[in-house]
Amino acid sequence: MAGTLLATSVSNPFTAYIFAANEPDKSKPWYGIGIDIEKCIGCGNCAKACKAENDVPKEPFFFRSWVEQYTIKNDGSLKVQSPNGGIDGQTQDIHEDEIFKTFFVPKMCNHCEKSPCVQVCPVGATFESPEGVVLVDEKYCIGCRYCIQACPYGCRYLHPEKKTADKCTLCYHRLKKGLNPACFEVCPTGARIYGDLHDKDGVMHKFLKEHNCHVLKPNLNTGSKLFYNGLNAEVR
């Protein structure tokens, strides 16, 4: 305990160096994402739009965004599925009498403030934009796949043609034009929002204030900026 405290106190001034954390640029937006699990109907439009917008390979092994279906049975057992990333919608093959609870969880890059993927990239090809969006420079990536190993959320893959790491960019190309990311645009229930975490009057502050939000795997201290409302303890 004492050792941990000592190490923390010593390393604190260097936190930004040891982790991948950069001080947010206050003059620029600092994006966070909110997903309301209670609103998600599992239609898979988000995952489909993501593939179309970003030329993600169509095969069912490469996803920047996908939807998981969680089913907790009355006996406490858990079943999770995401056939083809939920793009084709989801079906329930457990009889409703046996179901205690079922819900959908959309997944995407958490755009962590202390991104493990940014930290481990040996050449700096994975980096954080001034807006807090984690990006990959495909002209620079050497394809070592260390970032894929380091991402706790399984959000990265090696692009089969480019042979570089690929992941959600929060549709950075659209953001720069003032457009919404594709997955947010097509969500029929408005389960997804994003906004500037610096803006005290913005949608993200409102979302975080009005909901009981959690991040995935908080024990890993990645500084996730993807906040879920209604996140069950079973979700990883």
Partner 1 sequence: MDHLYEMLKQVDGYIYPNEIELHWSILIVLYPYITGLVAGAFILASLERVFKVEVLKPTYHLALLTALAFLMVAILPLVSHLGHPFRAYEIMTTPQPKSAMAIFGFIYLWYLMVVLLLEIWFDYRRDLVLWSQEKKGFLSRLYKILTLGVSDVSHKTVAWDEKLGYFITVVGIPSAFLLHGYVGFIFGSIKANPWWSTVLMPVIFLFSAMVSGIALVMFLYMAVSWFRKVKIDMPCLDEVGKYLFYVLVLDFTLESLDQVHRIYEAGESFEILHLLVTGKLTYTLFLFQGLLGTIVPIITLGIFRIKKPNEKIRKPLYLMSSLLVLMGIFFMRWNVVIGGQLFSKSFLGFTSFKIGLIGMEGYLMALVWIILPFFILSFFLWLLPPWKKHAEENV
* Minimum CB distance to partner 1 smaller for 124 or for 130: 124
Backbone φ/ψ region at 189: left (φ over 0), alpha (ψ -120 to 50), beta: alpha
For residues 90 and 43, give the distance between their C-alpha atoms in angstroms, rounded to a whole number: 7
The interface region with partner 1, picked from 1-9, 94-102, 140-148, 168-176 by CB under 8 A, is: 140-148
Q: What is the DSSP string of 71-132?
A: EEETTS-EEEE-GGGGTT-----S-GGGEEEEEEEEEE----TT-HHHHH-TTS-EEE-TTS
Question: Contact with partner 1 (CB under 8 A): which of 48, 107, 198, 225?
Answer: 107
For residues 41 and 89, give the distance between their C-alpha atoms in angstroms, rounded to a whole number: 9
The interface region with partner 1, picked from 36-44, 58-66, 191-199, 200-208 by CB under 8 A, is: 58-66
Order across the sheet with 192-196: list the strands: 192-196, 31-36, 226-229, 213-214
Contact map string, positions 160 to 189, toward partner 1, x by CB under 8 A: x-xxx-------------------------
**Does residue number 18 form part of the binding site for partner 1 (CB under 8 A)?**
yes
For residues 57 and 162, give the distance between their C-alpha atoms in angstroms, rounded to a whole number: 11
For residues 173 and 208, give the distance between their C-alpha atoms in angstroms, rounded to a whole number: 26
Q: Say how many residues touch partner 1, by CB under 8 A.
A: 51
**Does residue number 61 form part of the binding site for partner 1 (CB under 8 A)?**
yes
**Does residue number 211 form part of the binding site for partner 1 (CB under 8 A)?**
no
**Does residue number 140 form part of the binding site for partner 1 (CB under 8 A)?**
yes
* Minimum CB distance to partner 1 smaller for 122 or for 188: 122
Backbone φ/ψ region at 220: left (φ over 0), alpha (ψ -120 to 50), beta: alpha
Query: Which contiguous run of DSSP H or E holds residue 134?
Result: strand 134-136
* Minimum CB distance to partner 1 smaller for 6 or for 179: 6
**Does residue number 124 form part of the binding site for partner 1 (CB under 8 A)?**
yes
Question: Contact with partner 1 (CB under 8 A): which of 85, 132, 181, 223?
Answer: 85
The residue ranges that bind partner 1 (CB under 8 A) are 17-20, 59-63, 66, 68, 78-82, 84-85, 107, 116, 118-124, 140-146, 148-158, 160, 162-164, 220, 236
